[in-house]
Each structure stands twice: as structure tokens, then as C-alpha cells.
Amino acid sequence: MNITLESVTIENFEALMDMELPPAQARFLASNAYSIAQAHYYPDWRPRAIYCDGAPVGFALYDVTGNDEPGHYAIYRLMVDHARQNQGIGRLAMGQLLSEIRGCADARRISICYKPDNATARRFYASLGFVETDIDELGEMVAEILL
């Protein structure tokens, strides 16, 4: 299984926008369509298409400014299409995303937020080295990796 992160383009954005999560997960994450629109208007946000063996299977979004703190990168979205979940794609994609961010010369901290009652996200991000640090103004758990 070959996982890559690609740019969001005219060729893949409709496939990304059509991806869905099961209802139990959908309440935890904004849609890809909403996220792609946000990235269009926030120049420091980086949308990434997740590909598995040459086909789009998910979406990620991160911010290179991290609330205007130099070296702080914030991951806003990570999703794998419902039909492709539980195959290890999310873990491999997150590894690629973390490597991409770590490759930035100024990277010192990576944060991610999720709903505190999202037990799956809590376990997943903890297994990748994220440590919970705070609850933000929106009531979401903040977890970080210091580099």
C-alpha cells in the first residue's frame, strides 16, 4: 500500500468533496467541501489529498502559521473515506503529514484539536505521540507534539 499526500486540484477536488464519514463520525469533523473552501480563503492553510495506490481516499488540512506563533503548525483535518477506513491508511497518511511538517525548517510544535468525547481520535493521536495540553475556546481538546 503506497500512501502519498498530493495537492488538491481540479482533477481530484470533486472526489474529495464527495467523500463521507459514517454518521457516528461525521459530527466530529467538518466536511471536506467546507475545508477546501476554507483553504481557498486562508492563504496559510495547506489542503492535502490523501492517495492510496494512486487513488484519492482522504483529506488533510494544516496551517503553517499556528496562530501567528513562529514554528507552530496546526493540523485541522484528517479524514479517510468511510469505505477505506480500518486499513491503516489514516495512520500512514498522518505519518506522511507529520514528516511533511517536520521537514519545514522552522517547525517546533505541531498541534491538533478534537472533540473530547471522540475516544477513537484520543487513542489515535496519543499513539502518534500527541500529548493533551488544554481545552480551547471552542471546547475542543488540544494535543501537541514538541519538536
Q: Is CATH 3.40.630.30 the right assignment for the domain spanning 3-146?
A: yes
Region 78-86: mean pLDDT is 91
The enclosing H or E element of 119 equals helix 119-127
Compute the CA torsion angle 65, 70, 76, 80 (nearest 10 deg): 100
- % of the chain surpassing 70 pLDDT: 98
pLDDT at 28: 85
φ, ψ for residue 124, nearest 5 deg: -60, -55
**Whole-angstrom distance, CA of residue 9 vs CA of residue 109:** 28
Region 121-140: mean pLDDT is 93
Name the average pLDDT for the chain: 92
Residues 89-123 pLDDT 10s: 999 999 999 999 999 999 999 999 999 999 999 99
Compute the CA torsion angle 66, 34, 139, 127 (nearest 10 deg): -70
Region 8-28: mean pLDDT is 89
pLDDT at 66 over 70: no
C-alpha cell at 3: 500512501
- pTM to 2 decimals? 0.91
**Residue 21 binned pLDDT confidence (cut-offs 50, 70, 90):** confident
**Whole-angstrom distance, CA of residue 40 vs CA of residue 59:** 15
